[in-house]
Structure 1
Amino acid sequence: MAPTLETKYVFTITARIAEVTTAGDIGQGVRRIIPIVGGEVRGAEVNGKVLPFGADFQIIRPNELIDLEAKYAFETDDGAVVYVENRGIRFGPVELLQKLKRGEPVDPGLIYFRTIPKFETGAEKYRWLMQHIFVASAARHADRVVIDVHQVL
């Protein structure tokens, strides 16, 4: 019998975002690029700041299912740099997703927004980030994305 899957909350990433750039309909949906311009990381074992570069690359499918892939980095309070690749999906009622696109507030509980973040770092103290699987629940706001990261045990 395989071990039971459990998760443990580890930290929250709040990524501040800038204006959306749209490359238009690419045949399989609309390509959007959303710059990541800063933010913070807060948790029991990891704290720091989101570095002001990187972006979330999205494809909005015709049914408003959003495939996303964010690439960015954060620096811990003790100076370690951690690269992040975060892939996931966002889905919900079309009218609510359209409100989000316009920057209007939407109750995050009404939107399915889940991701799988992967981390890379040369810092020994944070090597455990590369040695585990993580899943996250996220919420999109007009100026930021809030990502609660959980370690799969």
Structure 2
Amino acid sequence: MSKEAASLVHEFTFTSQVQPPVDTGPNPMGARMCFTMGEGTVTGERLKGRFLGGGDWLLVGGDGYGRVDVRGQIATEDGAFIYMNYHGYLEMNAAIGGALTTGAGTDFGDAYLRTSPRLECGDPRYAWVNHTLFVGAGRLLAGGTVEYKVYRVD
């Protein structure tokens, strides 16, 4: 069956407590900041559990955008483990700068923070994640937590 147009369906929301970055400084590619991502929550109808943690190897270019490069793990509430990685873009504007320096939050419209998550799982109950296209929209919550709404492209 073919579809003329794709639609987005909310699949899950996840949060992670993000530690202050290790700033490796400017290099030929831009400025690299490495963030440790702590535990968080994963909530959705088909996917629920805990974000176990991971890291973001953010590269900030001279164009005012950060290139997001995240890897992490999800433990579902029914005992499966899912590897997740995503790339995307973070607009390094005043709202993001203020949130990173003061610990304040942002809203989804305050900066362009979009990702393309890829999930991998060997558990047959979650085999569907291996061949599903996802997109995400993120924001920073007060206190150093990042939140992403992840959508399935249907």
The alpha-carbon deviation at position 40 of structure 1 amounts to: 0.8
The alpha-carbon deviation at position 7 of structure 1 amounts to: 1.0
Supply the distance in 2 between the matched residues of 1:124 and 1:40 (Cα, whole angstroms).
Answer: 22
In structure 2, the residue matched to 1:13 is 14
1:28-74, Cα deviation, whole Å (9 max, x unpaired)? 2110011011001001111101114x201101112320101100101
The alpha-carbon deviation at position 23 of structure 1 amounts to: 0.7
Which amino acid is 1:126 matched to? Y
1:82-131, Cα deviation, whole Å (9 max, x unpaired)? 00001100116x32232133133333312111100000110111111111
Give the total of aligned pairs. Answer: 151
What stretches of structure 2 of length at least 5 have no aligned partner? none
1:82, 1:120 within 8 Å by CA — same for their partners in 2? yes
In structure 2, the residue matched to 1:45 is 46
CA-based RMSD of the aligned residues comes to 1.6
In structure 1, the residue matched to 2:95 is 96
Which amino acid is 1:120 matched to? E
Structure 1: which 4+ aligned runs deviate by more than 6 Å? none
1:64, 1:97 within 8 Å by CA — same for their partners in 2? no
1:35, 1:55 within 8 Å by CA — same for their partners in 2? yes
In structure 2, the residue matched to 1:109 is 109
Which amino acid is 1:145 matched to? V
Correspondence 1:3-152 to 2 at 5 A: 3-52=4-53, 54-91=54-91, 94-102=93-101, 103-141=103-141, 142-152=143-153
CA pair 50-2 structure 1, distance change in 2 beyond 3 A: closer
What stretches of structure 1 of length at least 5 have no aligned partner? none
Counting aligned pairs with the same residue, the percent is 23
TM-score, scaled relative to structure 1: 0.91
